[in-house]
Structure 1
Amino acid sequence: MSLSTFAVIGKDNSPLYLKEFPKESEVSKTETSQDTTDNQSDPFGFFEVKNEINKTMSLKNKFLIHSALDRFEEIEESTEKQQSGANKMWIGLLGSFDEKKVYGYVTSTRIKFFASMDDVEDGNEQFVREAALKALFANVHEFYIQHMLNPFSDVRNEKKIVSERFDLGIHDLIKSFNENFGKQDNMSWM
């Protein structure tokens, strides 16, 4: 049950950061196809190929995030979410959509974080995974705060996050999460 999609949604429900995390088998297929096209278009390596951050999400996963956003708004309008303390920002499971579970987290400044995972029933391991997911969201929140404190960031203008540092930080956090909790046979706690 690996984490496959992560999104940061702004105050006005505009996507600030969208990222897919394909499985290892899918990554090796896409890397080989990208390597051949890059070599053909630039055989001597003269031109810098810029990694396009924040433009790698399929239409299916965008729909999944928008569905989760609709569910979040329903929860927000109702009185379902009445938490306080450390779990105040944790929304939890927003729903199961197309064999994926989507979890949410909202900051005090109305920035929303969504993560989708494969939908499998695994009993009590789900509680351990959700606890790790809460910690992941808290760490992503810290990365977001650090990015916002950067005087050169454009997030204040509701533009997409294109920071390589932010992208690498999120990638490392989710890679670590998937290594610890993404495999069915390896469910040990850290």
Structure 2
Amino acid sequence: MIVAVAVVGPTNQPLYLSTFTDDESARLSTLVHCSLDAVEEKVAAGMRGVTTDVPDAYLGVLAVEEECKVYGFVTNTRTKLIVVVDDPLIKDDEMRAIFRRMHTAFADAVSNPFYVLGTPLVSPRFDASVRTIATSLGAAA
């Protein structure tokens, strides 16, 4: 179900990307990158006071391509968590739960005193947490 997970910094620098399929990593990376425009639009709409049905940092569906949907979450520091799934029937409640768990793992990783903000997230513990979260929903591979 989950085919890719990405963490993108406040200035759209890639911090982490993990794909769960062997043959589509370049396509999934491009899909994640292209969905950043939708993140910026939704965040800007929220800053202008436009009422949306998104009451928290969960942004919902950012993009749809063929059999994949891209979901987003933005932290208070404007770091973006992006998840690509290949299940068209996944519910928002399930995605919200996934993002809560990912946000907790991310907060734990960047709280490490040896981590320098804005640098790639190479923590084996964070990677293991993301893989556990992905397999809990059912990773594609």
Q: Give the SS at the match of 1:147.
A: helix
Q: Per the alignment, do residues 141 and 81 of structure 1 end up closer, same or farther by CA in structure 2, a change over 3 Å counting?
A: farther
Q: Deviations over 1:26-69 (max 9, x none)?
A: 6xxx9xxxxxxxxxxxxxxxxxxxxxxxxxx7221111001111
Q: Which residue of 2 aligns with 1:153?
A: 115
Q: Which residue of 1 aligns with 2:45?
A: 78
Q: Deviations over 1:73-93 (max 9, x none)?
A: 222233556467xx4111001
Q: Which residue of 2 aligns with 1:90?
A: 58
Larger radius of gyration: 1
Q: Among all aligned residue pairs of Structure 1 and Structure 2, give the percentage whose two residues are the same amino acid.
A: 31
Q: Which residue of 2 aligns with 1:163?
A: 123
Q: Which residue of 2 aligns with 1:64?
A: 31
Q: Which residue of 2 aligns with 1:175?
A: 135
RMSD of the TM alignment (CA)?
A: 2.2
**Aligned pairs, how many?**
137
Structure 1: 5+ residue stretches without partners:
31-56, 183-190
Question: Which amino acid counterpart does residue 90 of structure 1 have in structure 2?
Answer: Y
Q: Per the alignment, do residues 98 and 144 of structure 1 end up closer, same or farther by CA in structure 2, a change over 3 Å counting?
A: same
- In structure 2, C-alpha distance between the alignment counterparts of 1:59 and 1:115, rounded to whole Å: 15
Q: How far apart are 1:133 and its partner, in Å?
A: 1.4
Q: Which residue of 2 aligns with 1:19?
A: 18
Question: Which amino acid counterpart does residue 76 of structure 1 have in structure 2?
Answer: V
Q: How far apart are 1:151 and its partner, in Å?
A: 0.5
Q: Whose strand proportion is higher, 1 or 2?
A: 2
- In structure 1, C-alpha distance between the alignment counterparts of 2:126 and 2:57, rounded to whole Å: 21
Q: Per the alignment, do residues 95 and 15 of structure 1 end up closer, same or farther by CA in structure 2, a change over 3 Å counting?
A: same
Question: Which amino acid counterpart does residue 78 of structure 1 have in structure 2?
Answer: A
Structure 2: 5+ residue stretches without partners:
none
TM-score by length of 1: 0.65
Q: How far apart are 1:99 and its partner, in Å?
A: 2.3
